[in-house]
């Protein structure tokens, strides 16, 4: 699997916030085999090096870093944060979040497209946190994005895939675009469904960090993602309205 021409080692992407301790975060990443860690730029302070210890911990994980613009509510704020991220982490990758609704943390579609266009023109490789809206997806691709990250449900809710129809339609409409289900997953089974639908990866944080045993939950998600991808590649049977016998009737004994 590739994003912007860069191979990644796993279809699981993990956030780095809310873990009980650095040791538990480290254990969760290692048991999950996650290939990408998302990091909020607000954890770092370039001048004071306030986040140096945290950054050292992330580097020791040996994974690709995807900084994000979490908490940004305007185009200007998101673009400024992205430039900070590029300087701090020395990467053109940026997970672009421009929040439009405080309660649901739903992205602002208009500001998201505007910010994405500004950043891609400036050499960033943008991973937009978006909804499953087809028109918005098309606008983001036209703005220069080569990856889409539709939500499964509101961030941190654990509700899973609340709009299966919308996610299936989005996947079918843009079959060649790498897509990551981002946010709202609470259980490994929900991640398996996303991969079974043909999504390339999932990104999650709260479901692992807030579990009673984060490392075990991280491993559970990794196994579910592997199962879901295998099922997708195996070309599963279509659902039927009626029963169909699995044992053939030919050769069956009949009593007179």
Q: Which CATH number belongs to the domain containing residue 176 in this structure? A: 3.20.20.70
155 found inside a domain: yes
Binding-site residue set = 156, 183-184, 205-206
Name the pLDDT band for 1 (thresholds 50, 70, 90).
Answer: confident
pLDDT in tens, 125-136: 999 999 999 999
Looking at the structure of the chain, the number of domains it has is 1
With beta carbons less than 8 A apart as the criterion, state whether 87 and 55 touch.
no
* 146 occurs within a structural domain: yes
Quick one: pLDDT band at residue 47, thresholds 50, 70, 90? very low
Residue 246: its pLDDT value, please? 78
For 88-92, the CB contacts below 8 A with 24+ separation are 88/41, 88/44, 88/46, 88/55, 89/39, 89/65, 91/65, 91/66, 91/67, 92/4, 92/123, 92/124, 92/125
Residue numbers belonging to the annotated binding site for 1-deoxy-D-xylulose 5-phosphate: 156, 183-184, 205-206
Q: Looking at the domain assignment, is residue 52 inside a domain?
A: yes
pLDDT band at 81 (very low <50, low <70, confident <90, very high): very high
Strands 2-3 and 6-7: antiparallel
- Indicate which residue of 95, 117, 210, 226 is catalytic: 95
Confidence label for 30 from pLDDT (cuts 50, 70 and 90): very high
* pTM for this prediction: 0.89
Please give the average per-residue pLDDT across 37-46, as a whole number: 72
> Is 246 part of a structural domain of the chain?
no
pLDDT in tens, 209-243: 999 999 999 999 999 999 999 999 999 888 888 88
- Please report where in the chains the tokens 């991808």 appear, as a residue: 229
92 closest CA partner among 124, 121, 116: 124
Average pLDDT, the chain: 91
Taking alpha carbons only, the member of 94, 126, 133 closest to residue 110 is: 133
pLDDT, greater one: 59 or 156:
156
> Does residue 249 fall inside a structural domain?
no
Is residue 242 included in any domain, yes or no?
no
Give residue 87's domain range: 9-234
- 170 part of a folded domain: yes
Is residue 216 domain-resident?
yes
Residue 202 has pLDDT above 70, yes or no: yes
Instruction: Evaluate if residue 256 carries a pLDDT over 70.
Output: no
Residue 252 annotated to the active site: no
């Amino acid at each position: 699997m590739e994003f912007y021409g860069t191979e990644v080692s796993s279809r699981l992407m993990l956030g780095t916030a809310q873990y009980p301790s650095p040791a538990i975060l480290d254990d969760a990443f290692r048991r999950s085999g996650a290939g990408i860690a998302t990091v909020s730029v607000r954890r770092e302070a370039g001048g004071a090096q306030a986040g140096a210890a945290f950054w050292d911990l992330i580097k020791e994980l040996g994974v690709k870093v995807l900084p994000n613009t979490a908490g940004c509510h305007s185009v200007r704020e998101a673009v400024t944060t992205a430039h900070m991220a590029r300087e701090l982490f020395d990467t053109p990758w940026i997970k672009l979040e421009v929040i439009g609704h405080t309660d649901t943390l739903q992205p602002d579609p208009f500001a998201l497209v505007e910010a994405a266009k500004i950043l891609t023109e400036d050499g960033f490789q943008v991973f937009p946190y978006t909804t499953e809206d087809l028109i918005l997806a098309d606008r983001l691709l036209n703005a220069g994005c080569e990856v889409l990250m539709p939500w499964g449900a509101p961030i941190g809710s654990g509700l899973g895939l609340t709009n299966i129809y919308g996610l299936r339609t989005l996947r079918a409409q843009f079959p060649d675009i790498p897509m990551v289900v981002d946010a709202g997953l609470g259980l490994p089974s929900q991640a398996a469904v996303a991969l079974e639908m043909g999504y390339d990866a999932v990104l999650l944080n709260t479901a692992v960090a807030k579990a009673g045993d984060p490392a075990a939950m991280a491993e559970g998600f990794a196994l579910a993602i592997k199962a879901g991808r295998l099922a997708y590649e195996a070309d599963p049977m279509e659902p039927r309205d009626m029963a169909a016998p699995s044992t053939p009737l030919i050769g069956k004994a009949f009593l007179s």
